[in-house]
Amino acid sequence: MSKDMSFAAVMARKNEILMGSLGIDFSKFETGKLAFDYEGVMASTGYPYEEVRRIQLSQGVGQTPMLELPNITALARKCAKPGFGARIFIKDEAANPSGSFKDRRAATAVYAAKKLGFKGVAAATSGNYGAAVASQAAKLGLQSIIVQECFDSRKMGQPEILEKTRKCEAFGAEVIQMTVGPELFYKFLSILEETGYFSASLYSPFGIAGVETLGAEIAQQIRQLCGKDPDVVMTTHAGGGNVTGTARGLLRENCNAQIVAASVNLKGLHMASDGHFNRKSFTTGHTGFGIPFASWPDRSDMPRSAARPLRYIDRYVLVNQGEVFYMTELLANLEGLERGPAGNTSLVAAFALAQEMPEDNIIVVQETEYTGAGKHIQPQLSFARQNGIDIRFGDPTEEICGENIILPEHPGLIAARDVDMGYLRKSLVRNALAQLPAGEDVTDVDIDFLVAETKSSADFVKTAIADLRNNAG
Amino acid sequence: MIKKGTWVSVRSTILKAGERAANIPADTAAVPLDMWVKGYLEADCAMGGQATVRTATGRLEAGILEEVEPSTTVDYGNFVPEVLKIGRDARKILFGGGCCE
């Protein structure tokens, strides 16, 4: 008898499909009404850190260069008060096989799929991760299918995403291109069920464990180059895996650098809107993912996401689209490094934060990404202009997402704008409480869990719960 | 008529406008969820006809034959004068006047 492949029927089989395609039973890690054993999930892959590192090295992933940016640092110092302007370093993750840190995320997952006997891997992503999965699958002789949100209803696609289609196909992947909408997940689940492929989710413990090597390398390389630890590590934040894995790797090396996350501000643009789809110039690393995934990580394609950013973030800042494009051009013109715009989100924030820090401090930007036709400041701004976006020099605070892109008139106008961490932490508590089964209440285990989830205190969590209940009542 | 075995792109509708998920923006709910897949034509087919293709992974997908030997169209776009100015201005600030004259 053939299975019911309707939207409702496939979505109802979600957990069953995902469990079969990943080999992890998440239910055994539940410890409270809300709580689960996060470290248990992270260990469930069966690949300890040293093994992850060995797999990555055998696949050509990692050990990327750490580069100092003396000219961008000098420019930041020209904008800062005397004695301020930390040294800015960048981890050149574009040197990975498919051109981004996402190779780290894909390597263990694809390796595990091969070991478990899967014939192929599948992932739903319009970003660099698709290329990473396809690249790793190519190396291990596995098939790969990448499902991309690619076009609006006019079949117009952003050049950056179309370049990603090309790159995945270059690695031999089958790319399924779709119009805008979260129901892409329905097609993805159908594909998993049809093919029996491994689900190489961005949010699986395989993926996040793979990013830990990035954090560890940062600590090791800065110690070697500078004889001390970095003061701040700046990570671009979207779904939370980058910041989570990097922070875990730093902690593994006993490095207590401040963890600052940065996203591009896309306020006012709805991620599932057909009309807004091509009015934004960034397809990831933006607030459309960054804020919802920080305040509720379990909205991903995993029953429990291994990416849990609020456990690690000390500070979260936003930058504007125009500032990121501007900084991309500075990186090329002042440092001779032509890299993709999206990866430079955290460099913008680092340029601003460096000015708050003394000259002997060290700030590390933890990624770059590849660039090329489509995925480059020139075609992305050209596309924006064709779509009616006003592009001009001015004060970045005048940027209105979907209407204009403001390139800073002067580098001194670049700023990193803080997101209220207390608000995000309280949102996470509220979203967690909404998961409580009817008639149940939080236990001590759940309070401890929420403290860890929000990197806060029992007082903060208890006060937040009381506030939320008073307001609800 | 496009010959069997040609590499093509086919389009199909996964969800019609009225079948979209709840809680999505109205503009998205008003249009179908469409999909494009590439593969080798399983049989001769006219443009715009109903075709079946065998994809890169060997799966079969059906849809409307929309493109033959689809090209990658990404490029570097039209000239954007602002891009040129960014680097020149920054060099002046950093290295002083005259460096870009």
ipTM of the complex as predicted = 0.95
- Residue A272, helix vs strand vs coil: coil
What are the CA-CA distances from residue A163 to residues A130, A298, A343 (Å)?
A: 11, 29, 15
Between B19, B31, B59, which is nearest A153 by CB?
Answer: B31
Q: Sign of the CA dihedral A200, A203, A207, A211? A: positive
Mean pLDDT, to the nearest integer, of A457-467?
96
- Residue B100 has a pLDDT of 45
Q: Judge whether B33 is closer than 8 Å to chain A, CB to CB.
A: yes
| pLDDT (tens digit per residue) in A305-355 | 999 999 999 999 999 999 999 999 999 999 999 999 988 999 999 999 999
Mean pLDDT, to the nearest integer, of A282-299?
90
Mean pLDDT, to the nearest integer, of A273-281?
91
- Residue B101 has a pLDDT of 43
Q: B74 and A163: CB-CB below 8 Å?
A: yes
Does A211 score more than 60 pLDDT? yes
- Residue A297 has a pLDDT of 94
The residue assigned the tokens 């689960």 is: A36
Residues in chain B within 8 Å Cβ distance of A195: 57, 59
- Residue A331, helix vs strand vs coil: helix
Separation in Å, CA of B86 to nearest CA in chain A: 7
Q: A179 and B32: CB-CB below 8 Å?
A: yes
- Residue A22 has a pLDDT of 77
Q: Is B87:A332 a contact under the CB 8 Å cutoff?
A: yes
- B37-69 b/e (C-beta count within 10 Å ≥ 16 → b): bbbebeeebeeeeebbbebbbebebebbbbeee
- Residue A344, helix vs strand vs coil: helix
Please list the residues that pair with A333 across neighbouring strands.
Answer: none
How far is residue A308's CA from residue B43's CA, in Å, rounded to a whole number?
A: 49
> How remote is the C-alpha of A155 from its chain's centroid?
26
Q: Is A345:A127 a contact under the CB 8 Å cutoff?
A: no
Q: If residue A345 lies in a helix (H) or strand (E), which one and from where to where?
A: helix A345-354
Residue A151: pLDDT band by 50, 70, 90 thresholds?
Answer: very high
| pLDDT (tens digit per residue) in A348-407 | 999 999 999 999 999 999 999 999 999 999 999 999 999 999 999 999 999 999 999 999
Separation in Å, CA of B58 to nearest CA in chain A: 9
Instruction: Report the helix count and the strand count for chain B, using DSSP H and E.
Output: 2, 4
Percentages (nearest 5) of helix, strand, coil residues in chain A:
50, 15, 35
Q: Is A411:A330 a contact under the CB 8 Å cutoff?
A: yes
Between A150, A179, A326, which is nearest B86 by CB?
Answer: A326
Q: B90 and A183: CB-CB below 8 Å?
A: no
Over chain A, what is the mean pLDDT? 95
Output the CA angle B21-A263-A379, nearest 5 degrees: 85
Separation in Å, CA of B49 to nearest CA in chain A: 19
Over chain B, what is the mean pLDDT? 94
Does B99 score more than 50 pLDDT? no
Q: Judge whether B20 is closer than 8 Å to chain A, CB to CB.
A: yes
What letter represents residue A464's amino acid?
Answer: A
Separation in Å, CA of A285 to nearest CA in chain B: 22
Mean pLDDT, to the nearest integer, of A439-461?
96
| pLDDT (tens digit per residue) in A4-59 | 999 999 999 988 888 777 777 888 999 999 999 999 999 988 899 999 999 999 99
- Residue A276, helix vs strand vs coil: coil
Comparing alpha-carbon positions, the chain B residue that sits nearest to A119 is: B57
Comparing alpha-carbon positions, the chain B residue that sits nearest to A159 is: B74
Question: What percent of chain A is modeled with pLDDT above 70?
Answer: 100
| pLDDT (tens digit per residue) in A212-252 | 999 999 999 999 999 999 999 999 999 999 999 999 999 99
Between B80, B82, B94, which is nearest A71 by CB?
Answer: B94
Separation in Å, CA of A177 to nearest CA in chain B: 5
Residue A157: pLDDT band by 50, 70, 90 thresholds?
Answer: very high
Mean pLDDT, to the nearest integer, of A73-99?
98
Between B24, B34, B94, which is nearest A78 by CB?
Answer: B94
Comparing alpha-carbon positions, the chain B residue that sits nearest to A164 is: B74
Does A465 score more than 90 pLDDT? yes
Strands (E), A201-300: 232-236, 258-264
- Residue A2 has a pLDDT of 76
Mean pLDDT, to the nearest integer, of A89-104?
98
Separation in Å, CA of B1 to nearest CA in chain A: 24
Q: Is A93:A132 a contact under the CB 8 Å cutoff?
A: no
Strands B7-15 and B60-68 come out as antiparallel
- Residue A391, helix vs strand vs coil: strand
Please provide residue B67's backbone torsions phi and psi, each rounded to the nearest 5 degrees. -145, 140
- Residue A1 has a pLDDT of 52
- Residue A305 has a pLDDT of 92
Q: Judge whether B99 is closer than 8 Å to chain A, CB to CB.
A: no
Residue B1: pLDDT band by 50, 70, 90 thresholds?
Answer: very high
The residue assigned the tokens 């800062």 is: A80
- Residue B97 has a pLDDT of 60
What are the CA-CA distances from residue A441 to residues A141, A447, A466 (Å)?
A: 49, 11, 12
Higher-pLDDT residue of B71 and A17 is B71
| pLDDT (tens digit per residue) in A401-437 | 999 999 999 999 999 999 999 999 999 999 999 999 8
Interface test with chain A among B86, B91, B92, B93, by most A beta carbons within 10 Å = B86
- Residue B51 has a pLDDT of 98
The residues in A 405-434 lying below 8 A from B, measured between CB atoms, are 407, 410-411
Does A108 score more than 70 pLDDT? yes
Mean pLDDT, to the nearest integer, of B16-22?
93
Q: B78 and A178: CB-CB below 8 Å?
A: no
- Number of residue pairs across A and B with CB atoms under 8 Å? 157
